[in-house]
Structure 1
């Protein structure tokens, strides 16, 4: 008798659990299902499973939450409109349609080449002086989703501090071989980002676009400060986003900027940058 009561209790508990967390399938389209929450709670990353004995057996992962409804992406099997499905807790995952905004710190390695001449008479000695240096900047990034990719924009502060040695006295008003450039830029970029790998908390991506830099403070022993203007570049980037909670993530990335400038007025700045920060989904 005691064993029978225990079996009856656990059977009732199991049925009650399935019923309490059951959701009705409202629509199936493009390998996605729309379910009615019916006053219950689902989170992104949860799994939806068909109940035992259903006509079809399927599994979907919740990718989006709406008021009173949720969207699941089909992973295995199939579902039927009108049937009830149960919830299985899962890890948090990125929303495919979410806007991402992040604040990041950027470690910069800059390389600049400038054409210089010394004061030799009657024919000055000409040379190209190569300079390099490291600096740290910061910027904000927004990733706006579309059907195929994300539109990526950034705005930030980038200091460029480089130095090099000339063969001739072509720097510091043609009195020294020590050449320096120290420029603080407001930098902006626009790119197309493609997420090529997505799994629960992790997304990896590649991007390509262009950048523009507006000089603020300018100091240099190798350039005419009054002639330093806007710099342009092509950028290539790769990186990853890791979700640490339901809304917050940690972005990391690597960028290469190839300069489009070839004059003394705007130095040729080739840049390699490593960046990381914190972001939020909206």
Structure 2
């Protein structure tokens, strides 16, 4: 039941070798990825399972390892991801729709079992449902998007995602930085039973083609959301005593999660200056 040997399209400076295996019980399929990274965490693991197509991506610095297969049989919508951080082992657990024995995991797709630079990987999108719009100011709204149950995705502090829409027959893509949900004082977080949520605070421009299209989305509509992008690392501020944040140009939203991280987790911090 094994897939072909690993194909490496580009070697990293560390010459890392990641690998995977899989096994099954009567009701479960478990894919195990051995990263050999001692600092592996949930933000470095992105998993999507759409219409029998499984895509699991592991981020290692500026490279990524990909497991991507067309599964042999159907699985339930919800999946689980377990991470043994100290040994770098990642488990993706799928529930079989039918309790039958799988002869193989599935057919490998073109980029399956590759370890290449993230910039060469390209963006991957999944459709997320708009579950609420909360007015923050007269021209700014907090959008709450629900990820599919079959998606495991955490956007790291200092990184952004891309939203993609078809507007007047043209594909338009714009970057946005997720924020914390409690910016409006009267905000009520939706039930977590449905799935994970992502929050975007977006200023609606009267002449903005993209933001006007966003504002006209109805509750229950879907929008395509990419994997996280960005080069910021928490270690850049971990030992700082004074932090200067320049929000001119980028706006306030990229600073929200960074401010929260600095104030709650940077132990030596004395002053934060937001300009």
TM-score normalised over the length of structure 2 = 0.21
TM-score (norm 1): 0.21
Task: Select the structure of larger CA radius of gyration.
Answer: 1
Which has the larger share of strand? 1
Higher relative contact order (CA 8 A, sep 6+): 2
